Structure 1
Amino acid sequence: MIENSELSELAAFAAVATHRSFRKAALERGISASAVSHAISNLESRVGVRLFHRTTRSVSLTDAGQMLFARLGPALVDMRDAVDSLNSWRDTPFGTVRLNVPNTIAPFVLGPMIETVLKANPGLKLEIVATDRRVDIVDEGFDAGIRFGERLSQDVIAVRIRSDLRFAVVGSPAYFESRDIPRTPHDLHAHVCIRYAFPSGTILHWEFARDGESVHVEVDGPLMLDSQELMVDAAVRGVGLAYVWEQRAAPAVKEGRLLRCLEEWCPLEEGLFLYFPSRKHQSAGLRAVIDALKA
């Protein structure tokens, strides 16, 4: 029979193997990084085999560690599912749900949901990582992610969630003092535009639609940023036009520091999904999150 200490060591091993990081494993386990390191050292001493290659900058599995992780992963999933099945005997779900969501939209999609879910489910914990980096939710140990439909792979289950997101093209009154307000997306070629770069280096194209017509514009300008907050700030300062989520620019628009243009060319984004691996059990906690996001 496996003792509690051994189960704890194996859980720590699985967390480090998933995240390739002692620090991230410690955050997931709710313990210190030194405690995780101690658990791994005890496990390696007990089995007599090195499970990780460690350097000051990286952690990777040895061949033995890869074999153990491959065998251990399904067993841990079965145990989590067994514990989650107890939710049918409770009034509300318990456990932790780990979500990944693009940083650019996180506040507007998750803000209302967080309060709703946590108040309704006192035994539930949410761990949310907001990043515009492309994330493999399986490799990085997430229960689910949020992404636009065109970026989803075919081997996931995707649930459409409610969205009132749309882009806005904005510029300052000072910027428009010497330039005409664009009337169609094609007019943007004559304007100075602030471009957005994803962590991968991919540049965001400005996309528009109206009356069944779709227009993609590759804009130009001297400034490229990886933060929509900085884009709004630069637009307020008159650097150029910014193409950001409507809610991101709303305070500056309301205060008159930014003016909107091409509004009729910026429809609502309808393809926002919460997704998770098709082979993953949908826990009661994840179902609570899905219901709140769809509401």
Structure 2
Amino acid sequence: MKQNFTVRQGALDGVEVFLSVAQHRSFRKAAAELGVTPSAVSQTVRVLEARIGAALFMRTTRSVGLTEAGERFLSRAKPAFEELVAAGEVARGLGQRPTGLLRLTVPRAVVPILLEPLIASFCKAYPEIEVELATSKEVIDIAAEGFDAGIRLGHLVAADMVAVPLTPPFRLIVVGSPYYFAAHGRPENTDDLRQHACLRWRRSSGALAPWSFNVNGQAIEIAVSGPLIAGDFPTMLGAAIEGLGLAQLPEPMVAEGLRAARLVHVLEAYAPVLPGVFLCYPSRRQILPKLRAFIDHVKSRQAGDGKVQAQSVAGRAGSRKKR
């Protein structure tokens, strides 16, 4: 079948011209307002009337009036056209300044350790942007589900996505509570895990995730067993703190527990390194100002954190020199 490479005429063709003539009751004044010739206005109205199948204006040499069909058409077309114009202004505003609803799909685990402080500062900096966080353990199709961007672990970022790093690479580490180790001892190597209670994570696919390790430069996976299976990392973290068993979790997630001595790190020599967490979105060409503002905010926060870390290192170095 031969394709038609022209756009067919739509119901809105000529409506703006009609409304201008109806307002001014003059083809000449409408032409002046629209910046076209009176003959062009007259021709457009004739085409519109032919498509509708009714005369919309009564024309004399001295005046222009509306027919009954024109009056009815005006009563419905004017508010509809004004609404379309307003819709265009709203869309234009979204394309020119940071405003509107920013929808992000995120893993639940990263919300407390990464997004809470970031979102708080972003909302204060951009009060005209509303942020919606949709947490899920499944990998959501960002474009198909209407999200502006997603948060992903590095190995889950699709090749056709633009990715902005939110964290540096980090380790996947095994932790347990001091109470657990007091009762069961510490594993010294990966084989010892057979004698330990290991908390497991069920992926969105339904499969149980094995534990991953780096042994002599080789990546290996081990099937473990234990008393609890969870669908998210925060549940596993809480169970580990309560002494239910060992958990393998991202290092940033357990950092506070380690500092507070509620958790202890074991098997450090075997910890694999993950690429980190990324903000990803479909295309640079489709970025609205609200998403661009969020990306810039992320980068500025990272730059600020880097400066703080550099100052801290310099301060410690200076302190050592004085001593």
**What TM-score does the superposition give when structure 2 sets the normalisation length?**
0.58
Q: RMSD of the TM alignment (CA)? A: 3.0
Question: Which digits, 9 at most, give the CA deviation of each residue in 1:243-271, with x for residues without a partner?
Answer: 22334434443443332212343355324
Q: Residue 246 and residue 162 in structure 1: after superposition, are their counterparts in 2 closer, same or farther (change >3 A)?
A: closer
Check whether the contact 1:159–1:273 (CA below 8 A) recurs between aligned residues: yes
Aligned to 1:32: none
Whether 1:83 and 2:93 are equivalent positions in the alignment is yes
Match of 1:9 in 2: none
Structure 1 stretches of 4+ moved >6 Å:
78-81
Work out which of the two has the higher radius of gyration on C-alpha atoms and give 1 or 2.
Answer: 2
What displacement does 1:182 show?
1.9
What does residue 212 of structure 2 align with? 207
Q: Taking structure 1 as reference, are residues 271 and 246 closer, same or farther at Cα in structure 2, changes over 3 Å only? A: closer
Q: Which amino acid counterpart does residue 118 of structure 1 have in structure 2?
A: C
Q: What SS class does the counterpart of residue 193 from structure 1 fall into? A: coil
Distance 2:224 2:120 in 1: 39
- 2:108 touches 2:232 (CA, 8 Å); kept in 1? no
Compute the displacement of 1:132 (Å): 0.9
Does residue 118 of structure 2 align to residue 108 of structure 1? no
Residue pairs, 1:127-206, within 5 angstroms = 127-163=132-168, 165-206=170-211
What 5-or-longer segments of structure 1 have no aligned partner? 3-77, 88-92
Report the Cα distance in structure 2 between the residues aligned to 1:187 and 1:173, rounded to whole angstroms: 18
Give the helix-richer structure, 1 or 2.
Answer: 2
**Matched residues in 2 for 1:246 and 1:220: separation?**
21
Specify the code of the residue in structure 1 equivalent to 2:142.
I
Report the counterpart of residue 61 of structure 1 in structure 2.
none
Residue 200 of structure 1, CA deviation:
3.0
The 3 A distance-change label for structure 1 pair 179 and 114 is: same
Residue correspondences, number: 216
Alignment CA distance shift 1:276-1:257 (3 Å): closer
CA distance in 1, matches of 2:161, 2:93: 24
- 1:13-24 to 2 correspondence within 5 Å? none
In 1: Cα distance, 2:276 partner to 2:296 partner: 17
Relative to structure 1, is the Cα distance of residues 167 and 292 closer, same or farther in structure 2, using a 3 angstrom cutoff? farther
Post-superposition shift, 1:113? 1.6
Do 2:151 and 2:277's aligned partners in 1 also have CA atoms closer than 8 Å?
yes
What SS does the corresponding residue of 2:199 show, helix, strand or coil?
strand
Question: CA 1:155 to 1:169, structure 2 compared with 1: closer, same or farther past 3 Å?
Answer: same
In structure 1, the residue matched to 2:234 is 229
User: Contact 2:170–2:276 at 8 Å: present in 1 too?
Assistant: no
Taking structure 1 as the reference length, what is the TM-score of the superposition? 0.62
- Tell me which residue corresponds to 2:294: 289
Q: Distance between the aligned counterparts of 2:177 and 2:167, measured in 1?
A: 31
What stretches of structure 2 of length at least 5 have no aligned partner?
1-10, 13-87, 303-323
Q: Match of 1:177, SS?
A: helix
Q: What whole-Å deviation, never above 9, does each CA across 1:130-160 have from its counterpart, x for those lacking one?
A: 2112211122110110112322333322233
- Measure how far apart 1:164 and its partner are: 6.3
